Structure 1
Amino acid sequence: MELRQIRYFLQIAETSSFSEASRQLCISQSTVSQQIKQLEDELGAELFIRDSHSVKLSDYGIQFFPYAKNIVEDVQSGIARIKDVSGLSVGTINIGATYTFCPLLGKTIEDFMKEHPGISINLTCSSMEELMKMLEDGELDTVLSYRPSRMFDNIESHILFNSNLCVIARHGHPLSGKGIVRLMDIEKYPVALPSRGLQARNEFDRLLFGQNYRFDVRLEVNDLNMLLDLVRRTELITFLSAATVKDKPEFCTIEIDHSETEMVGSYHLLKGQYIKVATRAFLKSLVENNAFMISMDALTA
């Protein structure tokens, strides 16, 4: 059974005429008759009662008519929805972000919702390992994070921006006037660290591996908003990507005198996976909002 056959059936039913239906459909009457015959053969029932003067629905045709009409209407609705998705009028994006990356998303999400009110965003904040598993299982459309410590076979990663692990302090802190500090110079200041497993903490631990520094760690927090609030209110310092506080004027960043502080912001996609129109638009909005440098090849392919 073909959709065109159903359309021909409906046109004949509405016009009560094979000739008028063919005229309105802009095809030959013989083609219409042939297609209706094939439809009737497939259904095993005559849909029309034909005589020399008129055409009307048979009992079978009367029963088939509402279902045929619903089929065509549903297809038309589906086509309209596809156009809406393409035009970003409707849709859903499932985004995963590591805890360390989440603070970068607020402005982008706010602006994206204003520009595309029909698009729903499901944001999951979790660990890198959990997010990558969800991406592989098809539960997420993309994952946003800093560069993972290991590669994932089924996942391709693309650079969003380059940043560095640095010291974060409030303005007015004794370190706030310094452009660069050595790790040994930080030992005398109270520190609040991101909890173990967070990407910024992983980078911090990697810097200290094999070293004998003794930091005055007062607190470990797995919520970056709380961590930053404490740094803003107290003499605590912390270690995060400079990008985390790029738009937060109440904080200052102090470069760490070390050659291995790079943190690369990335987005991750399942290899071979179709990238939703809305996902592409969100990633582009993220780039535009944060003035990041990016290769857009994966988004425009």
Structure 2
Amino acid sequence: MHIESLKYFQEIAELKSISKVAKNSHISQPALSQQIQKLEDSLGKELFIRSNRGVKLTESGEIVLKYADNIIRTHNKMLSDLNDQESREIKIEGEYTIATYCLPCAILNMKFKFPNHQYNLTAASSDKIEQDVLSDICEIGFTTHPAGAENLHSEEVIKEKVVLISPPAFDLPEKVKIEEILDHKFVILKENCIIKENFKEVLAEIGRNLSEIEIISRLDSTEALKTLVRKGYGVAFVPYNSVRDEFSAKEINVSRITDYDLDYDIYMINKKAEHLSEDVRDFIANFKKLGKHICY
């Protein structure tokens, strides 16, 4: 299987048009069609149903698409490793909030202590992180849940503090009980995340549920939550590391819940030690020495 044909297949599946991909790739449409035909011949399966309105995936095409991205990224990782055989760079992935707010601080601490390490940090979903560690696309992943794969090692390495943020005008105290804040309007994330899961569990313990809370907006990112809180629309639960600057600038108030624990652990996941390079084993051992409260 030629990797370029697989890349073209992936683009056509996304755009649902051979002509558009041919134009974007600056090749002729017949040449591109020939590439896809060769891919289909090599697999022994028809991948697209072609019509005057474009193309759509066959059942076989859906299966190939499911694996195409990982195959292409693994191929690119192989080329990168071949080109950088002398590099000591360690590739790290973290869930979006972890990679944005927590890991930069932690890795900076690592850089101060162990200056010989080089790091490449990217954000990804937890499922993708686990798959990328398994596929050697990254060496280390950081997630809010332990890995599900049996041949991966998971360990709690960071304790992330969760706080309630509110506009200064609300004048909420530094310490509050959960029942004292439930009458406020909330902004929360659309997708499920560890903070939302923990909040639901706390509500269940006191005989409440999320539908009873006044939620004025469900947003895509922690940055969006912070924006609405700063503008005075409501309150939100967020990782403390995500609001340290705004808190220092007195743009928001920060409160801790005293009667329930909403904090969560961050897990470092990696392959078993015998499958790791010496540099990665060294990183893991030294990272654990930093302690769980890295950025406080």
Residue 142 of structure 2 is matched in structure 1 by: 144
Structure 2: which amino acid aligns with 1:217?
I
Residue 176 of structure 1 is matched in structure 2 by: 172
1:95 and 2:92 aligned: yes
Residue 183 of structure 2 is matched in structure 1 by: 188
Partner Cα separation in structure 1 for residue 171 and residue 148 of structure 2? 36
Partner Cα separation in structure 2 for residue 117 and residue 221 of structure 1? 40
Give the gaps of 5 or more residues in structure 2.
1-83
**TM-score for the superposition, normalised by structure 1:** 0.54
For residues 283 and 242 of structure 1, do their structure 2 counterparts lie closer, same or farther at Cα, with a shift above 3 Å needed?
A: farther
For residues 176 and 288 of structure 1, do their structure 2 counterparts lie closer, same or farther at Cα, with a shift above 3 Å needed?
A: farther
Percent identity between the aligned chains? Answer: 13
Residue 249 of structure 1 is matched in structure 2 by: 248
Partner Cα separation in structure 2 for residue 118 and residue 139 of structure 1? 18
Partner Cα separation in structure 1 for residue 110 and residue 219 of structure 2? 29
Secondary structure (helix, strand or coil) at the match of 2:156 reads strand
For residues 284 and 151 of structure 1, do their structure 2 counterparts lie closer, same or farther at Cα, with a shift above 3 Å needed?
A: same
Structure 2: which amino acid aligns with 1:179?
K
Partner Cα separation in structure 2 for residue 147 and residue 125 of structure 1? 15
- Counterpart among 223, 228, 231 of residue 230 in structure 1: 228
Instruction: Give the superposition deviation at 1:140.
Output: 1.6
For residues 249 and 151 of structure 1, do their structure 2 counterparts lie closer, same or farther at Cα, with a shift above 3 Å needed?
A: farther
Secondary structure (helix, strand or coil) at the match of 2:226 reads helix
Residue 276 of structure 2 is matched in structure 1 by: 274
CA contact (8 A) 1:108 1:289 kept: no
1:159 and 2:148 aligned: no
For residues 129 and 215 of structure 1, do their structure 2 counterparts lie closer, same or farther at Cα, with a shift above 3 Å needed?
A: same
Instruction: Give the superposition deviation at 1:142.
Output: 0.9
For residues 279 and 203 of structure 1, do their structure 2 counterparts lie closer, same or farther at Cα, with a shift above 3 Å needed?
A: farther
Instruction: Give the superposition deviation at 1:194.
Output: 2.1
Give the gaps of 5 or more residues in structure 1.
1-80, 294-301
Structure 1: which amino acid aligns with 2:133?
L
For residues 239 and 291 of structure 1, do their structure 2 counterparts lie closer, same or farther at Cα, with a shift above 3 Å needed?
A: closer
Residue 262 of structure 2 is matched in structure 1 by: 261
Instruction: Give the superposition deviation at 1:193.
Output: 0.8
Cα-to-partner distance string for 1:54-95 (whole Å, 9 max, x where unaligned): xxxxxxxxxxxxxxxxxxxxxxxxxxx98xx6xxxx332221
* Bigger Cα Rg: 1
Instruction: Give the superposition deviation at 1:244.
Output: 3.8
Cα-to-partner distance string for 1:29-60 (whole Å, 9 max, x where unaligned): xxxxxxxxxxxxxxxxxxxxxxxxxxxxxxxx
CA contact (8 A) 2:176 2:258 kept: yes
CA contact (8 A) 1:119 1:278 kept: no
Instruction: Give the superposition deviation at 1:235.
Output: 3.7
Partner Cα separation in structure 2 for residue 175 and residue 286 of structure 1? 38
**TM-score for the superposition, normalised by structure 2:** 0.55
CA contact (8 A) 2:175 2:256 kept: yes
